[in-house]
Amino acid sequence: MDRRLQDIVASTGELPALPATTARLLALLDDDTVGVGAVLDVIGNDPALTANLLKLSNSAYYGLRRQVGTVQEALVMLGNRTVVSLAFATSLGDVLRGPLAGYRLERDALWRHSLAVGVGAAQLVDAGGVRGLRERAFTAGLVHDVGKLILNAPLKAKLQQLPQSAGFDVLVRGERGILGFDHAEAGAALAAAWNFPAALAGVIGGHHDLARAAGGATGDCESEDPDTAGLLRAVAAANLTASRAGFGAGTLCEGDIQWRAEMAALGIDDDEATAVLDRLPGDVAALSAALGGRS
């Protein structure tokens, strides 16, 4: 890791530590055998988290036929891993919601983008028939841009602001030109400091590496674990799709033709891509309203 980046991660005073509950939920997400007792032990001892989780479970996004009144009911109706991923999203909201002056992002802009990428990534792994990755895809999409949290301060310190509307390549080149590294690299470093699973840190660090993501989609990336390759592909594609849908967190996809070409290069079928694009605005609005943010 670049020594300057190490110093930034170590000395970032204004960035909150990962909440203890969030860290415990992340550990549960990485456990394929997580049981009801473990989930209740984490969520049940946090009244605010419980209230927000129930509100989210009863949101229009899930459209349950009857209201969920307890965490136990949510576990029955939605499943253990879905409930844990929703609780993780709820607990991470305060970390991602603040304004980022270095990126010219107002409050909630990064949060809306992160929700859109999480939802889109989950839908893409579903459409691709990859079983057991939906919750991991949602989580990876939700945290893919955490590197912007720690690059915001050094950008401000250098009196630099990155352009509000630019392609992803322009954004990444701008970060590297000013600081010597980009937000994907910074995000991987922060993920390591927060003890994220190595596979999740790898997706954060590679979400702008479309060549690597495309290689994973076609099976050419021999060193990549198949699940990690699938997550990277889904997050990279969802990132482009969120931008195309207007949830760009400071960057825009330049046009429909370019977006379709990039999705095809990632191995995403045009019908699948269009279906995700069409659903995103409504899904993000429903989730954002349930979580108390602006849509």
CATH for the 3-290 domain, from 3.90.1150.10, 3.60.15.10, 3.40.50.620, 1.10.3210.10: 1.10.3210.10
pLDDT tens, residue by residue, 66-92? 888 998 998 888 888 888 888 888 888
| Domain layout of the chain by residue ranges | 3-290
The average pLDDT across 271-280 equals 93
The average pLDDT across 34-58 equals 86
CB count within 10 Å of CB 282 equals: 13
Percent of the chain with pLDDT over 90: 24
pLDDT tens, residue by residue, 151-174? 888 888 776 666 655 677 778 888
- Can you give the pLDDT at residue 241? 93
CA distance 230 to 117: 15
Residues 234 and 136 sit within 8 Å (Cβ to Cβ): no
pLDDT tens, residue by residue, 199-237? 899 999 999 888 888 885 544 444 567 778 889 999 999
Task: Tell me, letter by letter, the H, E, C secondary structure of the chain.
Answer: CCHHHHHHHHHCCCCCCCCHHHHHHHHHHCCCCCCHHHHHHHHCCCHHHHHHHHHHHCCCCCCCCCCCCCHHHHHHHHCHHHHHHHHHHHHHHHHHCCCEHHHCECCCHHHHHHHHHHHHHHHHHHHCCCCCCHHHHHHHHHHCCCHHHHHHHHHHHCCCCCCCCECHHHHHHHHHHHHCCCHHHHHHHHHHHCCCCHHHHHHHHHCCCHHHHHHHHHCCCCCCCHHHHHHHHHHHHHHHHHHHCCCCCCECCCCHHHHHHHHHHCCCCHHHHHHHHHHHHHHHHHHHHHCCCCC
- Can you give the pLDDT at residue 205? 94
- Can you give the pLDDT at residue 221? 45
Lowest mean pLDDT among 147-151, 249-253, 275-279: 249-253
Tell me the average pLDDT of the chain: 83
Q: Please tell me which residue, 256 or 295, carries the higher pLDDT value.
A: 256
